[in-house]
Amino acid sequence: MSRIAIFSAGVLFLGLAAGFRTGYARAKSDRNQDPQAAEAPPPIPAEDAAKKNPVKRTPEGMAGAKKLYGYDCAMCHGKNGDGKGDLAADMKLELKDWRDPNSLAKMTDGELFYIITNGRGKMTGGEGDRTKEEVRWNLVNVVRGFAKKDAAAKP
């Protein structure tokens, strides 16, 4: 009986050692990879990128979207869209400064809507099933508005 116990303990030990070695090798190889390549999100589907914003800017729509932005987005993207929210700083994220018109110049409204809806990279979740589609389109208008507001203030 004791031989069986010793044999079982030996098999268990070898199994644990092999698992540890495999995990160690995987962790070591993960450190050697380019961190940007490992975090590259999949491309936005073309049909989503091609969507046009059907929502016109209204004071009511913008007010509601700005309120939601303040609750859900500003912690990372900054109160004024500068990409310097408290959580972004804590996570050491480098986010775009949306006040710069060039930061979103190459992005379509459909791409912004897709990101707001589904999240992107470390932005988990998104607003998808939490908010109405109209509100998410208004968030696109809010994001676009950061650059317009800042551009109007520049001499």
- Domain count of the fold of the chain: 2
Does residue 143 register a pLDDT over 70?
Answer: yes
104 with 144, same domain? yes
Q: How far is it, in rounded angstroms, from Cα 91 to Cα 122?
A: 10
33 with 51, same domain? no
Which residues, 6 or more positions from 141, have their beta carbon under 8 angstroms from its beta carbon?
53, 55, 57, 61, 62, 65
Which pLDDT score, from 0 to 100, does residue 69 have?
Answer: 94
Which pLDDT score, from 0 to 100, does residue 5 have?
Answer: 54
Query: 14: pLDDT confidence band, cut at 50, 70 and 90?
Result: low
10 with 84, same domain? no
pLDDT single digits (tens) 16-73: 555 544 454 454 444 445 444 456 788 999 999 999 999 999 999 999 999 999 999 9
Could you tell me the pTM of the whole model?
0.69
DSSP state of 102: G
33 with 56, same domain? no
Domain that residue 135 falls in:
46-153
Does residue 9 register a pLDDT over 80?
Answer: no
Q: What is the gyration radius of the CA atoms in the chain, in angstroms? A: 24
Share of the chain above pLDDT 90, in %: 53
* DSSP assignment of 22-52: HHHHHHHHHHHS-HHHHTPPPPPPHHHHT--
Q: Report how far apart, in Å, the C-alpha atoms of 19 and of each of 15, 23, 75 are.
A: 6, 6, 40
67 with 93, same domain? yes
Q: How far is it, in rounded angstroms, from Cα 155 to Cα 151?
A: 8
Tokens for 14, please give them: 């070898």
Q: Show the 3-state SS of 72-92.
A: HCHHHHCCCCCCCCHHHHHCC
24 with 64, same domain? no
